[in-house]
Homo-oligomer: A and B are copies of this chain.
Amino acid sequence: MGKETTIYDIAKELKLSPATVSRALNDHPAITLKTKSLITTKAKELGYRSNKFASNLRRQKTNTIGVIVPRLNSYLMSTVLAGMEKVANEAGYNLIISQSLESQKKEIVNARTMFDGRVDALLVSVAYDTDSYEHFEAFINKKIPLVFFDRVIEQFDCTSIVIDNVKGGYEATRHLIDEGCRRIMHVTGSLKRNVYADRLRGYRLALAENGIAFEEDWLVVTDLSPEAGRKMAKKIQQLRPGFDGLFVANDSCAVSCMGALKQAGISVPGDLAVVGFNDDPLAEVIEPQLTTVHYPGKEMGEIAMQTLINHLNGSLNMHPADLIVLRSELIVRQSSRKSQAQGTL
């Protein structure tokens, strides 16, 4: 990489004083438009980069907002980011995104990169295994707005945006019970994370309300990958006739499980009724189509970003520990309609 261009280089080339160049680049009223134009053209030509550190001391703004997500290869996360981009663009902010790949270690590096990059604000959905939160303290101390979404934590007085995961888990399980299921397996992710812990609470609540005794081996904690779905299918096969219902905490895992069950000759929903979570496009492509909980990802992204931008613009003071809860909705499709498939209720 070449040497960094400074205002001295620009000054030298144009035979002007460094002070004039500095003022022009900072849009100082004492400099004529003509001179400003001359200087900015030369600055561009020489590849001058504004000294963010110095200019931050004055403006404190980079118009860049950082987002840390667990993984980018999920439909849900891409819809959340689409919502964030939409609102950020309209407000003149640019997003930079990094993924923790579900690792706390990487999340710490990401947070540091965002902090050193002087983002105006940070949005985070935490990794599977994160269990200390010191890497976010620098933002709190520096009063850089910090918002958590989807996978949130309670350690700081930050605004959090979530869906009602207890309700989502409850409705999914209650629906399976209504369809005649009595032995319902629940496949989920790390219970350190609110989204999975709360869906489990909803599941257990629905069982309890309907007089079904939960058994420890009904609950399986996985990484919710498609591979985990295929493994689950094998387990279900071996236990046959063990379970008559299956509630999986995301669709990509549920769909791969269904695919493997079908190949093994197990009928969905006849032998096993299945409900997923998120409402990925996959859910409508598989046959039978997958019953799932619709997750308003784009809306979550829009609201998270709007809340943040209102705060940055001073039009809204985020109240410490604000919690915004969005509506989710059970979408009933064929994969769970056991009562129809068997003609018995």
- The residues of A with any CB-CB pair to B shorter than 8 Å are 1-4, 47, 49-54, 56-57, 60, 62, 64, 71-73, 75, 77-79, 81-82, 85, 89, 94-99, 101, 106, 109-110, 113, 115-118, 120, 138, 141-144, 226, 252, 255, 259, 281-282, 284-287
Contact = CB atoms under 8 A, between A and B. Distances in A.
A226 B97 contact: no
Contacts of A96: 96-98, 113, 117
A78 B72 contact: yes
Nearest to A118: B49
A123 to B, nearest CB: 14
A81 B72 contact: yes
5 contacts: A1-B142, A2-B141, A97-B98, A259-B284, A282-B282
Given A52-B116, A94-B110, A97-B99, 18 more contacts: A1-B143, A2-B141, A4-B56, A4-B60, A47-B141, A52-B53, A53-B54, A72-B72, A72-B77, A72-B78, A73-B78, A73-B82, A96-B96, A96-B113, A97-B98, A226-B281, A281-B282, A287-B287
A113 B2 CA distance: 19
A89 to B, nearest CB: 7
A73 to B, nearest CB: 3
A3 B147 CA distance: 21
A98 B106 contact: no
Contacts of A3: 57
A50 B1 CA distance: 20
A64 B113 contact: yes
Contact of A101 (B49, B85, B286): B85
Contacts of A255: 285
A47 B109 CA distance: 15
Given A54-B53, A143-B2, A144-B1, A98 B95 contact: yes
A60 B115 contact: no
Nearest to A282: B285
Contacts of A85: 99, 101
Contacts of A117: 64, 96, 117
A75 B72 contact: no
A252 B77 CA distance: 17
A331 to B, nearest CB: 16
Contacts of A143: 1-2
Contact of A53 (B53, B62, B287): B53
A115 B73 contact: no
A96 B50 CA distance: 20
A53 B4 CA distance: 9
A109 B64 CA distance: 10
Contacts of A259: 284-285
A40 to B, nearest CB: 14
